[in-house]
Chain A
Amino acid sequence: GAVVSQHPSWVICKSGTSVKIECRSLDFQATTMFWYRQFPKQSLMLMATSNEGSKATYEQGVEKDKFLINHASLTLSTLTVTSAHPEDSSFYICSARALAGPYSYEQYFGPGTRLTVT
């Protein structure tokens, strides 16, 4: 149980285009989902926290207009990188947490999405 998936696992896009990354909780309802970014040889850095049906809360220094987060259902959150630039190339990881049930209060991580902007 407690499986979180991400799609796509890797994506290459041209500079100036937008790319959407999906995060799904497969066997539980995730009231909260988190988006992280990880640069090579560095640890995960929290970008934003999203609660189902509410606007996401962004960490300091993260541009909310550039990284659009939608959490419209209890099993799906999306991160859209708008007008991507090469410096946005990174490994994006989501995690999901339920507030009730056997998976409550634990964050379960997805496998990550490698984004390369050319």
Chain B
Amino acid sequence: KNQVEQSPQSLIILEGKNCTLQCNYTVSPFSNLRWYKQDTGRGPVSLTIMTFSENTKSNGRYTATLDADTKQSSLHITASQLSDSASYICVVSAKKSSGDKLTFGTGTRLAVRP
């Protein structure tokens, strides 16, 4: 069964600090891994997408890593801002002939305090 697990479930950090969110998955056959940011009451917004051959990808202060061998990914947020407060969802795609099928993690709820 395809699964995506994220840790921690929630996290509180002070503004300006860095943090790292973790994602472990068992999805096969692997197509790609995405990190999304979801503000409360809003739809998910894509931050990064990585395929099997990509180890790291950055989007501003967000840097995602992927270890396809251990099936782990991380999202590192640098110099956090209050606007980073949101849920961060790891989504892994399994390759299907009809189009990729997504498996969602339960998310990490990040709160950035002043």
Contacts and interface: CB of A to CB of B under 8 A. Distances in A.
B42 A32 contact: no
Interface in A6-27: 6
A68 interface: no
B44 interface: yes
Contacts of B102: 46, 107
A62 interface: no
Contact of A43 (B41, B42, B45, B107): B107
Contacts of A43: 89, 104-107
Interface residues of B, number: 17
Given A43-B106, A43-B107, A112 B42 contact: yes
Contacts of B41: 91, 112, 114
Contacts of B109: 41
A55 to B, nearest CB: 15
Interface of B: 36, 41-46, 49, 89, 99-100, 102, 104-107, 109
For chain A, the bracket of interface size reads 20 to 34
Interface of A: 4, 6, 32, 41-46, 91, 93, 95, 97, 99, 105-107, 109-112, 114
Contacts of A93: 43-44
A114 B43 CA distance: 11
B43 A105 contact: no
A97 B43 contact: no
Given A41-B109, A111-B42, A105 B89 contact: no
Contacts of A114: 41
A111 B43 contact: yes
A105 B100 contact: yes
B34 to A, nearest CB: 9
A98 B104 CA distance: 20
B104 A44 contact: yes
Given A97-B99, A106-B49, A109-B36, 16 more contacts: A4-B43, A6-B43, A32-B99, A43-B104, A43-B105, A43-B106, A44-B104, A93-B43, A93-B44, A106-B46, A109-B43, A109-B44, A109-B45, A110-B43, A111-B43, A114-B41
